[in-house]
Amino acid sequence: MAEALEDENLDEEQRQKLIYKFSKNYPILTAQSRLETIAKDLVWHFNERGYQGKGMLVALDKPTAVRMYDLIKSYWAEYLVELQKHIDDAEDLQEAQELRRKYKRVAETEVCVVVSSEQNEVDKFKKLGLDIATHRKKIVERDLEKEFKDPDNPFRLAIVCAMWITGFDAQSVSTVYLDKPIKGHTLMQTIARANRVYDDEKENGLIVDYGNVYEQLEKAYSVYGEGGSTGGEGKGEGTGSPIADLSELEEELRAAIKETTKHLHSLGFDLESLKNANPMMRISKIQEAENCVCLNENTRATFEVMARNVFRKYKALFPEPQAKAHTKDHNAIDAIYKRLNKSVKSADITEVMQKLQSLVSDSISVKQSDHVDGIYIDLSNLDFDKLKDAFAKSDQKNTITYTLQQVIENKLKQMLKENPSRVEFYERYKEIIDDYNAGKSLENTVKVFDDLNDFVKDLSAEEQRAIKENLGDQEVLAIFDLLTEGKELSKKDVKEVKKVAKKTLDVLKAEKLTIERWRESREVIAQIKIVIHDNLLWLPQESYSDEDVDTKATDVYQHIFASYRGGNDSVYEMRA
């Protein structure tokens, strides 16, 4: 039967011959009750899977593919009704939000039939009570292959029978539903559709076998795979089989959870206490776990790597019963992971500072930025005495220290972008963090917190230097620092250098730097280099030789190139 179905373009005579020859199998495989059962199972499975990659259903033949589309769409509507009931019955806001996001994804997901064309197909399908014209219109008018390969495109489930099962590579496909007799090389190619390496979350491909194709897989692998026959037992470990039994995947999940639990225990936290905590105690336990994990960067990074491994393996199994047996462990680890990453999800440090603000009351001042989504942090308004008092009283010392370190690191990155001459601050910061990561005690945490506080004071003073130097802003200060680096200047020369720095930047910003994408134009680049060099000729001649001017002109150009993208867009935008 598999051989007869390799060609999907069977004419009516061939199809009738197939039905007659396989008088028992074909009517059973295409029975309405059987197809309805498979369609309903597929809809629920596809939308409840842990890893939400794209999927393919390999149907028996083209008429069956169209029939399955109609059935799947019918059950899809039923699934959405059931999902809406879960939203209405949700016990808390967070659960409702998660379900709404899921509803949106399911509602926008598109299912398409992808089959080859044949003569008189519209009349042929009409006789079977089926509509092929709608599907053919999609195939002709759209680039369905490109859409399906795009992981962000809502075309997420393809129904095929021969097309796309060989010589087709879509890395985001994670699930293949098999309901067609296939064997040999075609079978090996088909299951490979789901097994492509894709992203950090895709642990494996999943084959859902509705048609008992597995027996043929063992035979095919003995011919096309690596090694000999596995004897039909289907055990992946040590047999060379391309597939793993669900029980093996469960064992991998169990081992990943055990490893993560052991790591948490070594840091002083018992995962069981969170798993069994009542709703009132749950938040407290999550905070306790967060504090333990944040002992230093290494302990946190290790936990996050282990946690992501648990998530991948759990998603690979879900919604099978083998996965559900480990749901409480998964959810407990996930709660800690989300807590850790809640405050560092974005490049700006909005949530980090909001968290610190709640810990140290009014010791932190923030102001809303007009140009970025988030909050610009004015370190000069930190009340360090209040910060230290709050820290001394807190039982979340590891968390506060880690959070402060994250704030400083984000701030330092921005300050280095603005002014490359601040590299000594980065070197000093790295020394503090090296001590932080080497520490494993409360005393070390306290010392690192104090060191970070002192460091922040110096960062604050550095931020105010542009005003003290009467340079107006950080942009002119950066040029001034580049021009004075390595120079011992008199007060008179310093004044002259400040004038040159300001004028150079004013000329550039008034003319060349307003040009969109100027860095892609050789002509504009050349003009900017000339502007910089000509303006630097006004540097004090007794302190700057011609060679110095050339060197400083190169330094200033490199800074301009890195900091100003054109069209008034620069690394200084978030300070506006």
Q: Which of 256, 272, 360, 378 shows the shortest CA–CA distance to 309?
A: 256
The answer to the question of residue 231 being in a domain is no
174 and 56, same structural domain? yes
The answer to the question of residue 447 being in a domain is yes
- pLDDT level of residue 236 (50, 70, 90 thresholds): very low
The answer to the question of residue 161 being in a domain is yes
The domain spanning residue 83 has which CATH number? Answer: 3.40.50.300
The answer to the question of residue 426 being in a domain is yes
Q: Given this model, what pLDDT does residue 230 score?
A: 41
In this structure, the number of other CB atoms found within 10 A of the CB of residue 31 comes to 11
- pLDDT level of residue 554 (50, 70, 90 thresholds): very high
Q: Given this model, what pLDDT does residue 81 score?
A: 95
β-strands 54-58, 173-178 pairing: parallel
296 and 385, same structural domain? no
Q: Which of 309, 408, 313, 300 shows the shortest CA–CA distance to 353?
A: 408
pLDDT tens per residue, range 320-367? 888 888 999 999 999 999 888 774 443 333 444 445 555 554 444 434
Over the chain, what is the mean pLDDT?
79
Separation between Cα atoms, residue 484 and residue 489, nearest integer Å: 8
Say which range, 95-99, 433-437, 532-536, has the weakest mean pLDDT.
433-437
For residues 86-115, average pLDDT: 90
Write down the H helix ranges in 294-349. Answer: 297-317, 321-324, 327-342
Q: Given this model, what pLDDT does residue 157 score?
A: 95
Q: Given this model, what pLDDT does residue 388 score?
A: 65
Does residue 239 carry a pLDDT above 70? no
For the chain, how many structural domains are there in total? 4
- pLDDT level of residue 235 (50, 70, 90 thresholds): very low
b/e sequence 466-478, b meaning 16+ C-beta within 10 Å: beeeebeebbbbb
Q: Which residue has the higher pLDDT, 194 or 138?
A: 138
- Listed in sequence order, the residues at least 6 apart from 506 whose beta carbon sits closer than 8 Å to its beta carbon are none
- pLDDT level of residue 229 (50, 70, 90 thresholds): very low
For residues 95-115, average pLDDT: 92
pLDDT tens per residue, range 124-165? 899 989 999 999 999 999 999 999 999 899 999 999 988 887
Helix (H) / strand (E) element for 1: namely none
Tokens for 458, please give them.
């110096």
Is 54:172 a contact under the CB 8 Å cutoff? yes
For residues 461-471, average pLDDT: 78
Quote the percentage of the chain above a pLDDT of 90.
Answer: 32
Residue ending a domain, among 404, 438, 463, is 463
50 and 189, same structural domain? yes
Q: Given this model, what pLDDT does residue 53 score?
A: 86
Strands (E), 281-410: 366-368, 375-377
DSSP output for 18-57: HHHHTTTHHHHHT-HHHHHHHHHHHHHHHHH-SS--EEEE
Say which range, 212-221, 465-474, 533-542, has the weakest mean pLDDT.
212-221
496 and 407, same structural domain? no
Residue ending a domain, among 299, 317, 342, is 342
491 and 532, same structural domain? yes
Separation between Cα atoms, residue 377 and residue 381, nearest integer Å: 9
The answer to the question of residue 470 being in a domain is no
Q: Which residue has the higher pLDDT, 507 or 429?
A: 507
Rg (CA), the chain: 32
In this structure, the number of other CB atoms found within 10 A of the CB of residue 80 comes to 15
Separation between Cα atoms, residue 109 and residue 79, nearest integer Å: 13
Residue ending a domain, among 435, 463, 491, is 463
pLDDT tens per residue, range 271-307? 999 998 887 788 888 888 988 888 877 888 899 889 9
Give the N- to C-terminal CA distance of the chain in Å, as an integer: 71
Q: Which domain holds residue 276?
A: 248-342
The answer to the question of residue 4 being in a domain is no
Length of the chain: 576
The answer to the question of residue 241 being in a domain is no
- pLDDT level of residue 9 (50, 70, 90 thresholds): low
Q: Which of 51, 42, 48 shows the shortest CA–CA distance to 69?
A: 42
133 and 208, same structural domain? yes
pLDDT tens per residue, range 471-508? 878 888 889 989 998 888 899 999 999 999 999 999 99
Helix (H) / strand (E) element for 384: namely helix 384-393
394 and 304, same structural domain? no
Say which range, 68-77, 184-193, 238-247, has the weakest mean pLDDT.
238-247
Does residue 36 carry a pLDDT above 80? yes
167 and 28, same structural domain? yes
Amino acid identity of residue 170, one-letter, is: A
514 and 443, same structural domain? no
Separation between Cα atoms, residue 497 and residue 20, nearest integer Å: 96
49 and 17, same structural domain? yes
30 and 146, same structural domain? yes
421 and 312, same structural domain? no
The answer to the question of residue 428 being in a domain is yes
